[in-house]
Structure 1
Amino acid sequence: MPHPASAAPTSRFPAWLLICGSLMAIAPLSIDMYLPSFPTLAGDLGVDIGQVQLTLGAFLVGLALGQAFYGPFSDRFGRKPPLYVGLCLYVLAAMGCALARNVESLMLWRFLQALGGCAGMVMARAVIRDRLEAHESARAFSSLMLVMGVAPILAPIIGGAVLTVSGWRAIFWVLSGAGLLILLLVHLRMEESLDRRHAAPLRLGTVARSYAELLRDREFLGYSLSAGFGSAGMFAYISGSPFVLIELHGIAPSHYGFVFGANALGLITMSQLNARLVRGRSLDQVLGATLLAALAAGMVLAVAALAGMAVLPVLLGGFFVFIGALGCVSPNASALALAHQGHRAGTASALMGTLQFSLGTLGGAAVSVWRDGSALPLGVVMAACGAGAVLMRHYGRSGARARPGAR
């Protein structure tokens, strides 16, 4: 039975929010668990590590493209049917990854795995918007990040352990099992949140018109792209940090997960602080301050690399501040982007996800393609992403002020 948009969760972690957290965790779990295996995977398949990094790019492309489909479908048929389709595809594709014999087939299966897994991301955001208004949504997104934040902390550590014991293929068998477990939770414990009285017709013209209206909405587009540039910086870090930390600075693959987990812990900590900050401040005010922190961290990384001073403490500090700031950026920008899109929450969530992961793909690809044997590409890309996020926040803010009825 659908829940009214004004309903607030009766506890900090109601069952539906925990399930949303597990759905959102699919992407970081699928990405972060196999990061420590990059050098081993490259050696096993007989390719350069840059080609292995492209399998991450294929996953991000799948995340970006797949979300555009699930949104309109969910606005017509509800939030659960797309989850059944997407999670089944995810499980089968993870099995395909485990059985891949060359990097090309691995890229294909990773793409299909992302096409399935991204259904969870779209539906989680849509369910939160179905149930809650803007400030409650921001707090729910912050709580959700605490749940899904366990994935980037544990995934590289688990991945490194599985890699040591059973090899990189076992990592994808573990992911397949995780997908089956989440599918079972969705079936048994998740209630439908779409009010069928407001179901949108699934016609090509209607869908195209909705997407066009969203792209003309400065508030939605600006805040979505602000979060997107933040995601691009994070995926640049995800793509480039194995080389910078493991290859350049000699961190053992089994220890890389602890460094990665420390940054994820910073993100979680900031997301929980965000839930308190937004109680007495506007979402945009908190967003603006944390975006400036991310920009400053990116600039430090870029300048240090240019000056030949990108020593390990500087890198670790810059990564920690940038990723930690995203704990406030993501929930607030998402809540602001969806604030006035309750009548098409699935479509808006899908487009927001497509924009964010398109930028994420570009950020990760830029670091993979621009390789000069130093930390410079990673630092410059993260700084550029920080600047883009700040600019897009101002664009979204101008749209919010121009909206009829805004003060």
Structure 2
Amino acid sequence: MLTMATLWLMTHETLNRRAPLRLLTTFDHYYRLLMQRHFVLPALSIGSGVGGIYTLSIALPFVLIYRLRLSTFSFGLVMMFQTGSYITGSLLANRLLRLHSLTSIIRLGVSVIALGGILFLLLPHLCVPAVWVWISPAAIWVFGNALVAPGLTSFAMERQAEKAGSASALLGFIQIGIGFLDNTLLGSFYTDVAQGTAWLVPMSAFIAVSCGLASKRA
């Protein structure tokens, strides 16, 4: 209620003039965006990376709490390591943006994502079940996503001056949609959450890396 009251009383419209809703124009914008490789490729790369994060947020409690018997308090502490990894990646990306091109940072980021995907594919199958088997690749995964996010978002939005709102909305929808798809696949086709995660996250990594590397050539 407090949030709603704050938005109602203190948040002002950026466009004072009320414009009628034009659904056909809006859908036309979305269609045109989906036909543009220079938008779709970075959007799919970001969406696959974020979708992997959403998958981990659903899967890790089952793996770490129910299978490895972590307490909820210990689980919270362990997840802080993943959060800290994302913050560190964001800070590093901010620093690297001053020194290197977007393309080079994206290449670094997708390389880190690829490493995280490979570790998710190998460690759960080759190592004795342990917390580090899951948290290490998860931390690497979110670190790589933090590195690529600024560059890929810029690539997706750089030619969308006339339909920036639609592009931004579609970019967010793709991220949420891929996350929903991943979790639907995880719940529908895998009785073992750990096994499903060990396959779905590497597949997301493959899409994220492929589209991320191809986005600059679009």
User: What TM-score does the superposition give when structure 2 sets the normalisation length?
Assistant: 0.89
Unaligned residue ranges in structure 2 (runs of 5+): none
Report the residue type matching 2:28 in the other structure: R
Measure, in 1, the Cα distance between the counterparts of 2:34 and 2:177.
15
Aligned equivalent of 2:38, options 205, 215, 219: 219
Cα displacement (A) at 1:203: 2.4
Matched, 1:368 2:190: no
Residues 185 and 259 (structure 1), Cα distance of their counterparts in 2 relative to 1, 3 Å cut: farther
Residues 1:247 and 2:82 aligned together: no
Determine which structure has greater relative contact order: mean sequence separation of CA pairs < 8 Å that are 6+ residues apart, divided by chain length: 2
Q: Which runs of 5+ in 1 are unaligned?
A: 1-179, 400-407
Give the RMSD, CA atoms, in angstroms.
Answer: 2.2
Please list the CA deviations of residues 12-52 of structure 1 after superposition, one character each: whole Å capped at 9, or x if unmatched: xxxxxxxxxxxxxxxxxxxxxxxxxxxxxxxxxxxxxxxxx
Measured in 1, the distance between the counterparts of 2:19 and 2:44 equals 25
1:331 aligns to 2:127 (yes or no): no
Alpha-carbon deviations, 1:279-327, whole Å to 9, x = none? 1222232122112111211211211223354432222211111122222
2:4 to 159, 183, 207: 183
Contact 1:302 1:376 in 2 (8 A): no
Q: In 2, are the aligned partners of 1:367 and 1:378 still within 8 Å (CA)?
A: yes
Match of 1:378 among 178, 197, 214: 197
CA contact (8 A) 1:230 1:329 kept: no
For residues 227 and 353 of structure 1, the distance between their equivalents in structure 2, rounded to whole angstroms, comes to: 9
Cα pair 2:124 2:133 within 8 Å, conserved: no
Contact 1:371/1:377 (<8 A) preserved: yes
Rounded Cα–Cα distance in structure 1 between residues aligned with 2:190 and 2:116: 21
Identity of aligned residues (%): 26
Preserved contact between residue 113 and residue 209 of structure 2 (Cα < 8 Å)? no
Deviation track 1:34-87 (CA, whole Å, cap 9, x = no partner) reads xxxxxxxxxxxxxxxxxxxxxxxxxxxxxxxxxxxxxxxxxxxxxxxxxxxxxx
Q: Distance in 2 between matches of 1:347 and 1:224?
A: 13
Q: In structure 2, what is the equivalent of residue 281 of structure 1?
A: 100
CA distance in 1 between counterparts of 2:44 and 2:19 reads 25
Give the corresponding residue for 2:25.
Answer: 206
Q: Which residue identity is paired with 2:63?
A: V
Q: Which amino acid aligns with 2:207?
A: G
Select which of 132, 147, 159 maps to 1:340: 159
Q: CA deviation at 1:187?
A: 4.0
Residue in structure 2 matching 1:290, options 100, 109, 117: 109
What's the CA shift for 1:231?
1.0
Correspondent of 2:76 among 257, 272, 275: 257
Q: Cα deviations across residues 72-117 of structure 1 (Å, max 9, x unaligned)?
A: xxxxxxxxxxxxxxxxxxxxxxxxxxxxxxxxxxxxxxxxxxxxxx
Normalised by the length of structure 1, the TM-score is 0.50
Q: Secondary structure at the match of 2:59?
A: helix
Q: What secondary structure is seen at the aligned counterpart in 2 of 1:281?
A: coil
